[in-house]
Structure 1
Amino acid sequence: MMKRFVVALAVTLTCASASAESPADTVRIGVIGPFTGGSADFGIPMLNGVKLAVDEINSVGGYLGRKLELVIKDDRADPAAGRAAAEAMRSEHVVAAIAFCNTGVAMKSIDVFQTAKIPLIVPCATGTPITTTYPAKDSYIFRTSARDEIQAPFVVKDIVRRGWKRVAVLADRSGYGEAGLKDVKGALEKQGLTPAYVGRFDVGVKDLTAEMKEARAAAANVVFTYTVGPENAVVARAREQIKWKVPIVGPWTLSFPFFIDGAGSLAEGALMVQTFIAEPSNERRTSFLSSYSKTYKTPRIPVPMAAAQAYDSIYILTYALLGIRGGDFSGPAVKEALENIRRTYYGVVATYEKPFSAADKDAIDESMLVLGEVKKGQVTFAYPESARKNLLVQRKKAS
């Protein structure tokens, strides 16, 4: 399938080149993420997904004969480093950037891209404010990950169906945890519920036994976590420490190695939001998983969603650039092209038919989400119907 897609892209590029002006040598794309440090377990898959897509596109001529060239900078999951990397993109002559896995880092940096009018596609970070800080029609901030505003209600609806209505929320004090807590409370309110307990903790905490005891004392029957790193495993260990058999649910971060490997058998049964589960459920996904495994010599992607969403981001950007005539790669021109992509991209995560518009900068909607569950140390589908749904790559619902 991948070969057929690359051939189709080559035909598209050839046809488009007939009306293009003579280009410069390369098209430069910025990439910023946590490639070292505590968030590298999903930063590296993000970068690998970007590189895999770029290599495929360059193998058929790049953009009208111009190779895609990556300008890569490591933010180490540090907001100050992320902002410095964003500032550096101003002088790198990038047409756009694929950047950020951490909400706190993104929120420290998005104003740089907005002010410089450099389109930014966020492939991993999910904090709702990332794409709501600026009015949509003026915003240069796009996203291909599922924002927490849709992740939280998706999980809440499921736990209500299961009869778990006394929800304890444990959220860290990072920008990610702060935004996620707000979205969980909003989702519960829409169901006529309020949290039975809310516990806050600092990133890096090693013991949450006291918070778990308080949640149990509040008669909670499910724990909803909102944190991104090893703290999820700390939650699971605290639950075991007090011998409390309560389910753990959360956003996509419960699919990370920090939780699954860190908690070991204690992670079993945890439920989380997913846009992409690494099972060869159809031809597109089989091809992507095979290419990733062969290229990076690994049987397992640590965080498959990060890789797949970043991979799709590069193709979406390329499709947008193909809609530009006259070689105008100015920020406003690329922004408009992203808002008016004319060709449907049959991606790994979803089928992207007009993924963005002047009024909507999020490519993923709730119809594309599935519920994942940890089983035998791997993330799989929580429901058989989700696996059946996954045979068809979902399209964004018309707004």
Structure 2
Amino acid sequence: MRATAWRKAAAALVVAALAAVAQAQPIKVGVIGPFSGPSSDFGKPMLQGIQLAVEQFNQVGGYLGRPVELVIKDDEAVPDVGRKRSEELAAEGVVAALGFCNTGVAMPSLEVYQKAQLPLIVPCATGTPITRAYPPEQSYIFRTSAPDSIQAPFVVADIVRRGWTRVAIFADDTGYGQAGRKDVEAALAAHKLAPVYTVNFPLGAKNLTAELAAARDAGAQVIFSYTVGPENAVIGLGRKELGWKVPMVGGWPLSFPFFLEGAKDAAEGAMMAQTFIAEPSNERRASFLSNYSRAYQGRPAVPVAAAQGYDAAYLLMYALLGIRDGKFTGPAVKRSLENLPRVYYGVVATYERPFSEQEKDAMTPSMLVMGKVQSGAVTFAYPEDARRTLMVQRKR
């Protein structure tokens, strides 16, 4: 009888505990990105990576029984919409936000987060100015994507090692394209080089054959593209139409479906900076890819976006766990992000003090690898990079 009574009492406690958890006030976290429109091909994987991390966090109890609840806003890849949605997040009581895929959308919205003292972690947008908009010790803007200030020198160093010194730059006229163009020019200047041809083109350009012919006539040995949409495919196809077999390199958008599927065989051999390649090169990445596939019935369209979104969400949740009193004010979350109490063994990297008062970018060049389009998919350009990623890299 005593055993039966004990079991009943224990069961009642479990039911009460579960009820308390169910009734616990959720912790609201904002997510903003292009979940419809032309940039949704990487906005959706970013969101799914975030959702997967939050689901896992909540399954093990969240923050002392309080679940994280995502408040999701679609910026449609439109700057004015992004700012309006950011203002909505600030008004809805979120403790922090994760988001932005487009530099040109992020930049006008940063003021909203800074003024509201609302920490923002950017998992995808790579424009260098994003984390330089405010003095670092005052800034509420953090980032887990690789800024173009390290992507551009990384790619330039690789093409110089290959002996390609006559570079043509093709950049779109968005904030992303123009900031990236400046980063490439600076990286070339560090090698005492200058582009032999540069063109800025409007987003939505359908034909760049004349510009490609001019680059060819200028003696370019390689095309460095800086655009985030189907214009990469326009460049690749135009190069094929001219019969010009010059290599094509760029930042991470060369791993996007717009390029891989749009350019098809014209994309073959293109190389780009990557923080994550969707191959099970170590246990963490194999687990992430397996969990993602189960949740969303396949691999992410843009693996880098999904992985960086996943890691950004976990870094934020680690920061929340570092706030013992449960008072998630903006300054408290900012301080916790800058002083993470434990190492997060992530998918993209091993994050040991990824942020500080003086440093708001989590990525360093040591975390980059060179990707290459092969048979319509992105793989490691160099076997040594594949071997190196057997161990997830740390910040250096």
Question: TM-score when scaled to structure 2?
Answer: 0.94
Shift of residue 325, structure 1, vs aligned partner:
2.3
Q: Secondary structure at the match of 1:276?
A: coil
Q: What is the aligned length?
A: 374
Letter in 1 for 2:350: T
2:193 matches 1:197: no
The equivalent of 1:239 in structure 2 is 239
For 2:38, the equivalent position in structure 1 comes to 38
SS at match of 2:254: helix
Instruction: Look up the equivalent residue of 1:154 and give its one-letter code.
Output: F
- For residues 267-282 of structure 1, the aligned pairs below 5 Å read 267-282=267-282
**Matches of 1:84 and 1:126 in 2, distance apart?**
21
1:157 & 1:132 partners in 2: Cα distance? 24
Alignment partner, residue 136 of structure 1: 136
Aligned residue number for residue 348 of structure 2: 349
Deviations 1:25-77 (A, max 9, x none): 11100000000110010000000000000000000111111000000000111
Amino acid at match of 1:350: A
Alignment of 1:383-394 (within 5 A): 383-394=382-393
Q: Distance in 2 between matches of 1:24 and 1:390?
A: 40
Runs of 5+ consecutive residues of structure 1 not aligned to the other structure: 1-22
Residue matched to 1:315 = 314
CA contact (8 A) 2:338 2:355 kept: yes
The 3-state SS of whatever aligns with 1:90 is helix
Q: Does structure 1 residue 85 correspond to structure 2 residue 90?
A: no
**Paired residue for 2:174?**
174
Distance 2:47 2:148 in 1: 22
Q: Cα deviation per residue 1:336-389 (whole Å; 9 max; x = unaligned)?
A: 110000100000000000000000000011000000000000000000000001
Where does residue 367 of structure 2 map in the other structure?
368
**In structure 2, C-alpha distance between the alignment counterparts of 1:198 and 1:291, rounded to whole Å:** 43
User: Which residue does the alignment assign to 2:16?
Assistant: none
CA distance in structure 2 between the partners assigned to 1:166 and 1:142 by the alignment: 35
Where 1:262 maps in the other structure, the secondary structure is: helix
Whether the aligned pair in 1 keeps the contact of 2:24 and 2:67 (CA below 8 Å) is no
**Contact 2:24–2:65, Cα closer than 8 Å, also in 1:** no
Q: Which amino acid aligns with 2:51?
A: K
1:10-159 pair list within 5 angstroms = 25-159=25-159
1-side partners of 2:194 and 2:327: how far apart? 51
Partner of 2:395: 396
Cα offset for 1:321? 1.1
Moved over 2 A (4+): none
Q: 1: distance between equivalents of 2:213 and 2:95? A: 51
In structure 2, what residue type is equivalent to 1:386? D
Structure-1 separation of matches of 2:257 and 2:263 = 9
Secondary structure, in 3 states, of the residue corresponding to 1:266? helix
Post-superposition offset of 1:216: 0.5
1:24 Cα deviation from its structure 2 partner: 5.4
Whether 1:327 aligns to 2:326 is yes
Partner of 1:137, secondary structure, is coil
Counting aligned pairs with the same residue, the percent is: 64
> Matched residues in 2 for 1:359 and 1:330: separation?
20
Residue in 2 that maps onto 1:6: none
Deviation string, structure 1 residues 167-205 (Cα, Å, up to 9, x no partner): 000000000001000000000000110001001100000
SS at match of 2:219: coil
Tell me how far 1:301 sits from its aligned partner.
1.3
> Which deviates further from its counterpart, 320-329 or 80-89?
320-329
SS at 1:216's partner residue? helix
